């Protein structure tokens, strides 16, 4: 019978990763994507940049836009202190079902709240539904034309405080030109590019890290 790529990625985790060991989950997915099938995870190379930002910010509240199979969710959540909370949004129910199992395999379900639905619908409800005041860190990795409208929506909804960090993936490939233009020129942000490569390839891509100045 036919399986999907996310199902095959989950099978690779169940076969090769140790339950309760997030790094073994990350490693199993990276191996699958390098040896078997490319997939749209942030990947090992940019993943190291993501890890260093999470460690530096040491956030208590994190929002991830775009869960897919939970690869970056596992990377981020494994670096959070025990009281911290990561909310991750995914609008594809098939991907969300896989991600729940990947996150559980890593033993991180207590730190992660996976919310199914579209970012534009959930961002305005963060305060009311999840008691979030502001996010310390937001990882933007959903569809690229949503980075800019969702950033403006987070501003309007008061979800960013002075010092909140936005970290945006794939700003070069596939690229987010309207977002980069905004974030680099707005006096409300201080922004920095981290050059790297598109996941599992040698094509240039990078992460944009932006501090909200209030």
Q: Which residues are catalytic?
A: 141, 144, 169-170, 199
- Report, in Å, the least distance between residue 118 CB and Mg ion: 18
**Strands 85-90 and 112-116, how do they pair?**
parallel
Select from ligand SAM, Mg ion, none the partner in contact with residue 142, using the beta carbon and a kind-dependent cut-off of 5 to 8 Å.
ligand SAM
> What residues between 90 and 149 interact with Mg ion by CB under 5 A?
141
Among the candidate windows 13-21, 64-72, 125-133, 183-191, which touches ligand SAM by CB under 6 A? 64-72
Of 153, 170, 175, nearest in space to 40 by CA = 170
Please, what is the minimum distance in Å from the beta carbon of residue 162 to ligand SAM? 26
Interface with ligand SAM includes 22 (CB under 6 A)?
no
List the one residue out of 157, 96, 148, 93 whose CA is nearest residue 121: 157
208 in contact with Mg ion (CB under 5 A): no
One residue of 95, 179, 182, 189 binding ligand SAM per CB under 6 A: 95
Q: Which of 146, 149, 201, 199 is nearest to 170 (CA)?
A: 199
Both tokens of residue 211?
């501090």
**Residues in contact with ligand SAM, total (CB under 6 A)?**
18
- Would you say 76 or 160 has its CB closer to ligand SAM? 76
State yes or no: residue 72 binds ligand SAM (CB under 6 A): yes
* Min separation Cβ 212 and ligand SAM, Å: 20
153 binds ligand SAM (CB under 6 A): no
Does 169 bind Mg ion (CB under 5 A)? Our answer is yes
Would you tell me which residues interact with ligand SAM (CB under 6 A)?
A: 40-42, 66, 68, 71-72, 89-92, 95, 118-119, 141-143, 146
Would you tell me which residues interact with Mg ion (CB under 5 A)?
A: 141, 169-170
């Amino acid at each position: 019978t036919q399986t999907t790529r996310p199902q095959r990625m989950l099978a690779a985790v169940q076969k090769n990763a140790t339950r309760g060991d997030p790094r073994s989950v990350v490693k199993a997915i990276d191996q699958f994507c390098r040896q078997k099938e490319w997939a749209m995870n942030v990947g090992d190379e940019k993943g190291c940049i993501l890890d260093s930002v999470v460690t530096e910010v040491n956030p208590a509240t994190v929002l991830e836009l775009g869960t897919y199979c939970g690869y970056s969710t596992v990377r981020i959540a494994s670096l959070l202190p025990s009281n911290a909370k990561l909310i991750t949004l995914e609008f594809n129910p098939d991907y969300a079902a896989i991600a729940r199992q990947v996150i559980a395999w890593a033993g991180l379900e207590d730190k992660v709240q996976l919310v199914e639905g579209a970012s534009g619908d959930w961002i305005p409800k963060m305060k009311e539904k999840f008691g979030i005041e502001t996010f310390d860190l937001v990882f933007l990795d959903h569809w690229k034309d949503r980075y800019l409208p969702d950033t403006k929506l987070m501003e309007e909804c008061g979800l960013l405080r002075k010092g909140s960090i936005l970290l945006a993936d794939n700003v070069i490939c596939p690229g987010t030109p309207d977002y980069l233009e905004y974030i680099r020129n707005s006096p409300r942000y201080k922004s920095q590019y981290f050059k790297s490569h598109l996941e599992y390839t040698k094509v240039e891509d990078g992460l944009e890290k932006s501090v909200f100045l209030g």
